[in-house]
Amino acid sequence: MTLITFDESKNIFHLSNTSISYLIGIEKESYLSHLYFGKAIKTYHDGRKYPVMDRSFSPNPEGTPLKTRDFSLDVISQEFPCYGHGDFRNPAVQIKQTNGSSITEFVYDSYEIISGKPILDGLPASYVEGDEEAETLVITLIDKLLNLKLKLSYTIYAQRNVIARNALLENNGTAPVVIEKLASLSVDLPEQDLELISLPGRHVKEREIERQTIQRGTRIIDSKRGTSSHQSNPFIAIVEPKTDEFTGTAIGLTLVYSGNHEMLVERDQFSQTRVMAGINPFGFEWELESDASFQSPEALLVYSDQGLNGMSQTFHDLLQNRLARGQYRQAERPILINNWEATYFDFDTDKIKKIVDSAADLGIELFVLDDGWFGKRDDDTSGLGDWFENTEKLKGGLKGIADYVHQKNMTFGLWFEPEMVNADSDLFRQHPDYALQIPGRSMSTSRDQYVLDFSRKEVRETITAQMRAILDTIDIDYIKWDMNRNLTEVYSATASAAHQGEVFHRYVLGLYEMLEELTTDYDHILWEGCSGGGGRFDAGFLHYMPQSWTSDNTDAVERLDIQYGTSLVYPISSMGAHVSAVPNHQTYRETGLEIRGDVAMSGVFGYELNLQDMTQEEKAVVLEQVAFYKTHRKLLQYGKFHRLLSPFESDQTAWLFVNGNQSQAIGFYFRKYAESAGPLRTLKFTGLAPEKTYQVNGDAIYGGDELMSVGLHIYPFLVGDYQSRKFVINEVKSN
């Protein structure tokens, strides 16, 4: 199947599969214009050709054939705009030159069409498992004065509604230049009413859905924290006002990057909308020497004409199957018990063994030993950076715990926070310069810790060696990789003044190098990401670790919002979700085990409480939850996920998991608050086969069309606050 064509007579590139088309034109034989991204078309007949008209105060570039006043870069829709030659909107590239100018002029030079998808050097990216899966268009632009080449890559998958984009800048000139900005993606959309959806938040309240009308001016969604952050996830969607979960068009965009990012949306004077994503230019300067190159992170652009659910399902499939890697990519994930909220730092070998005993009796499969097992670590003021066993706290050491867990037919997991150091640690006393700090200035602490300078190879190697000493001697099946603060005093002791603007990005590149090494060498381990919960929940991290701890907030009611928002882009198999104790340790709310279990089952399921404090009746509920999840685990982790009712719109939430052949589905309904003489609530399903017959909860029989069009009453009626219901839907096979 040919996915990319070039019409030489019209100078048009057409990227298309059976679902989507992406059109790029070459204007005046020099400038790349964006023509269309949306539902697939068979042939393009120049309907979006730039209208020839004079726009006042819109300059006209020199050097184009038949110079007139009717062509301006200030007006046309572009693919990768520069600044300084007539376009006054936000540029995708800015490069400071030796004469002090940051103005460039990149014009079309050549193109290449490649089977498959090239890998990105040193950066996570989506991939193919055979060249027939995708084709890649590489368009080369050139700044002739500086002899810079800008290579724009576009990959289209044959079976996915995705365009993967990145930019590579090559310096073929004789003088160095400084990159001040290089976006991964830029696209200009024509005049139309549009809305912006983003996922802002904060610690323990991540990825809230915010929707706003796109008005004239610039809106920036960004992080300056050194990570993708709790506050501003690297995802946006551009939608029609009428778009909802089920209908309407949506363009989704996520950046495969774990550091400072910028998602920019600009509506110009003519109501055209420019959308851009890449490394945040704030605090970023990269000196590019002659004969050197710089690679931007990958951006993933998704189109849906089936509402937000259609957009999300495309993201889920891609991130789960062509971004995540390794043996756990589609493996059923174990049910775990984590000791953190049960013990915090106050544990010893006997306490841990009792938790393991209780967990084994309840059918839990994985025990995770959290913070406090290493160095001199009895609270959060010491020990980080000293990754050796605290044998005074753990008699028999980690090996004794690991062996005990394995004897119980469970697997063993361990917590690390490799990027951090406490002042009270052997590492900091020996190498204080390993921490990010500015000479002569004070050092900020957060959680009583500093950030190690992972832009330096010797720092990474020191931590890697400590971790390897543990991993090579202890039988470990799972690692939780945590990061409990953002970056401050970003300055590297070994970088020159001219290269300090590179430290943010070099930190991320160093982290990726370390992750690549460890997850490859210890590929039998299930790795889980964490950053105070969801502070680094992004596509870049998913490339190395197939799941992440979604939030430090374990309250079931709060988790409805958090998991619903997260699902807008990230697959359910990536979302760690645990049942915790009540009153909840973050909100102090009391909720029943049923709703706590149903919310946690809608992710990678586990427990984070002291099982010994539970009554026999509560343990019986846990046994039922564990058995239910094991029975339906594949569907709940890898089924097609549909959002039905949003917690951001009412006190009701509902979602549904459907298997591949639509023979089985599980729906969850949640209601936060009781109401007197309330309405008779009904729930309509989606994603089923209308022609099939289904049995619900082992009882009544309904047609698929009935369940989707007529729906069911929420019955038996819910009593009290914080209630949930499960709907197990199975196809009835005809004889």
Indicate which residues carry an active-site annotation.
482, 552
Q: Is 49 exposed, middle or buried (0-12, 13-18, 19+ CB in 10 A)?
A: middle
DSSP bridge partners of 137: 113, 154
Write the DSSP string, 174-234. SS-EEEEEEEEEEEEEPS---EEEEEE-BTTB----EEEE--BEEEEEE--SSSS-SSEEE
Assign 410 to helix, strand or coil: coil
Q: Is 533 exposed, middle or buried (0-12, 13-18, 19+ CB in 10 A)?
A: buried
Chain-centroid distance, C-alpha 288: 29
The secondary structure of the chain in percent helix, strand, coil, rounded to multiples of 5, reads 20, 30, 45
Single-letter code of the amino acid located at 192: Q
Alpha helices in 323-396 (DSSP H): 340-343, 349-361
The C-alpha atoms of residue 328 and residue 164 are separated, in whole angstroms, by 24
Q: Please measure the distance between the N-terminal and C-terminal CA atoms of the chain and give it in whole angstroms.
A: 40
Assign 279 to helix, strand or coil: strand
DSSP bridge partners of 669: 654, 725
Chain-centroid distance, C-alpha 325: 15
Nearest CA among 599, 586, 536, 579 for reference residue 207? 536
Single-letter code of the amino acid located at 559: R
For the record, the structure tokens of 667 come out as: 């729906």
Single-letter code of the amino acid located at 374: F
The half-sphere exposure of 583 on its side-chain side, counting CA atoms within 13 A, is: 4
Kind and range of the H or E run holding 299: strand 298-304
Secondary structure letter of residue 335 according to DSSP? P
- φ and ψ at residue 303, rounded to 5 degrees: -115, 140
DSSP bridge partners of 16: 21
Write the DSSP string, 282-297. TT--EEE-TT-EEEPP
Strands 298-304 and 162-171: antiparallel
Nearest CA among 131, 97, 93, 126 for reference residue 113? 131
Kind and range of the H or E run holding 168: strand 162-171
The C-alpha atoms of residue 348 and residue 392 are separated, in whole angstroms, by 9
Q: Token match 């910028």: residue? A: 262
Secondary structure letter of residue 46 according to DSSP? S
Nearest CA among 605, 564, 582, 511 for reference residue 206? 564
Long-range contacts from 145-149, C-beta under 8 angstroms, 24+ separation: 145/105, 146/95, 146/97, 146/104, 146/171, 146/173, 146/175, 146/177, 147/171, 147/172, 147/173, 147/174, 148/95, 148/104, 148/106, 148/172, 148/173, 148/177, 149/109
